């Protein structure tokens, strides 16, 4: 089974993530997928770009709506269950949120698909993504039962994403 189909059947379909896909471009989602933009300084305006193909498949090629990402975050914050459907065991979910490698015991580490983050004593489990046109972050605050997802669709907007995240935390 191709990776994109496996994830569709075993994650997206089970969680009701109807507007998420690892296929490029995502099938039947033209009305749901944001366009990417660049700023043309000579013209003084934003220019729409075509679908951004990601050569490093599958890790960086997911297209999803914010609503679908909210469902994914809820499942993770609820120990692998959403609306009575279990996609991961409690142990697996907790294991994904733990560091599997760190350079030093006092530093944040890297887990299975997630990174550790922190702000003071606040523990954060997150994954960011950057392409030419899109800059996104999904962050879970497990101890507060809160998740946040934001995605900017303009080249050069990684600083705005970071500023929003910093202000939120």
77-109 pLDDT tens trace = 999 999 999 999 999 999 999 999 999 998 999
- The closest alpha carbon to 12, from 78, 79, 90, 85, belongs to 85
Say if residue 49 is exposed, middle or buried (CB neighbours under 10 Å; 0-12, 13-18, 19+): middle
Question: Which tens digit of pLDDT belongs to each residue from 103-157?
Answer: 999 899 999 889 999 888 899 999 998 899 999 999 999 999 999 999 999 988 8
Contacts of 106 (CB under 8 A, 6+ apart): none
Q: Two tokens at 40?
A: 């043309």
- Under the banding of pLDDT at 50, 70 and 90, the label for residue 14 is very high
| Greater model confidence, 83 or 25 | 83
For residues 65-76, one letter each, b for 16 or more C-beta atoms within 10 angstroms of the residue's C-beta and e for the rest, the string is: beebbbbbbbbb
């Amino acid at each position: 089974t191709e990776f994109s189909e496996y994830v569709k059947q075993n994650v997206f379909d089970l969680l009701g993530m109807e507007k998420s896909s690892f296929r490029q471009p995502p099938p039947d989602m033209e009305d749901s997928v944001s366009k990417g933009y660049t700023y043309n300084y000579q013209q003084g305006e934003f220019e729409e770009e075509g679908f951004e193909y990601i050569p490093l498949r599958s890790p960086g090629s997911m297209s999803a709506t914010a609503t679908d990402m909210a469902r994914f975050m809820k499942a993770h914050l609820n120990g692998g269950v959403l609306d009575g459907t279990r996609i991961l065991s409690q142990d697996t979910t907790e294991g994904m949120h733990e560091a599997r490698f760190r350079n030093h015991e006092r530093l944040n580490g890297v887990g299975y698909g997630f990174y550790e983050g922190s702000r003071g004593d606040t523990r954060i489990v997150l994954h960011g993504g950057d392409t030419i046109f899109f800059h996104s972050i999904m962050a879970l605050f497990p101890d507060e039962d809160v998740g946040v997802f934001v995605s900017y669709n303009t080249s050069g907007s990684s600083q705005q994403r970071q500023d929003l995240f910093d202000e939120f935390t």
